[in-house]
Amino acid sequence: MAEQTAPPQCPAAPGVQGPAAEKPDAAVVRDALGVGVAVGLSGFAFGVTSAGSGLTLLQTCALSLLVFTGASQFALVGALAAGGNPYTAAAGAFFLGIRNAFYGLRLSQLLALPRVLRPLAAQWVIDETTAVTLPQPTRRAARIGFTVTGLTLYTLWNLTTLLGALGAEALGDTDAWGLDAASPAVFLALLAPMLKSATERVTAGLAVLLVLGLLPVLPAGAPVLVSALAAPVVLFLKGRGRSASSEDVTGDTTPGEGR
């Protein structure tokens, strides 16, 4: 009788092991499609806002095709609409998009894509694809989540950008609709369930306070970058708390002089 061999298992994501950690492909696709469709439709808001700021149809569509990071795009057209210098607006959008580079460092290890695909995948490294990919229990699930989210979001974002730019005149006052809040609201809904520990919640809260406090005094994009300092500050304070606790325990258990 021929020797039977077990089928190869998909490698698990870091920190998760065993078949019990696997997630059905259909569930991953469902979650990815939900995010891709919900956020992709908000490209309509960008198209309307961009056209209202004075950018042409070609310029608006080129931003979505080539830049493809909603926060930076909104920051750019928002600064232009407020009468800001184009170079200053572009610089703010650039600094706001730097966070995607840090996402890429983590996703490159998790996805482990072939070299030929990495430049193409880099275009899809944004908030939403990262939020869907990181919680996946296996590399297979992570790849599916990243691909489905990226493809759905990229397609819909660019299509709705075009529709929004074309329909800007018919829509009227874009500020009255509040469409620019759609994408941040969806991302907040994705992020909230991931804040499971007290340290994570405190870090997120401090980051929000930093952004809100610095918005009136720093250029667009800068407050988000500064808010990243919340993580090392919380970790430093947490480490000091542990050190103080250790010293108290040592002082209670070590015999003192005169005892």
Tokens read off for 213: 């406090």
In DSSP terms, 138 is beta-bridged to 12
Q: Is 50 exposed, middle or buried (0-12, 13-18, 19+ CB in 10 A)?
A: buried
Overall pTM surpassing 0.75 (yes/no): no
Cα 80 to Cα 27, 51, 91, 168, 175: the distances in Å are 41, 11, 12, 16, 15
Alpha-carbon distance 163 to 247, whole Å?
63
Residues 59 and 159 sit within 8 Å (Cβ to Cβ): no
* Whole-number Å distance between alpha carbons of 129 and 48: 24
Give Cα separations from 176 to 42, 44, 83, 171, 193 (angstroms).
15, 15, 20, 10, 30
The DSSP symbol for 65 reads I
Do residues 80 and 86 lie in contact, with contact meaning Cβ atoms separated by under 8 Å?
Answer: yes
CB 73 within 8 A of CB 100: no
Query: d(Cα 60, Cα 6) in Å, to the nearest integer?
Result: 52
In order along its 259 residues, the chain shows pLDDT tens digits of 344 444 444 455 554 444 446 778 899 999 999 989 988 888 888 898 888 888 899 999 999 999 998 888 888 887 787 777 788 778 878 887 888 999 999 999 999 999 999 999 999 999 899 989 999 999 999 999 999 999 999 999 999 999 999 987 676 666 666 665 655 665 566 567 667 788 888 998 898 899 889 888 877 667 777 887 888 898 888 887 777 666 666 665 555 554 4
Q: Is 136 left (phi over 0), alpha (psi -120 to 50) or beta?
A: beta
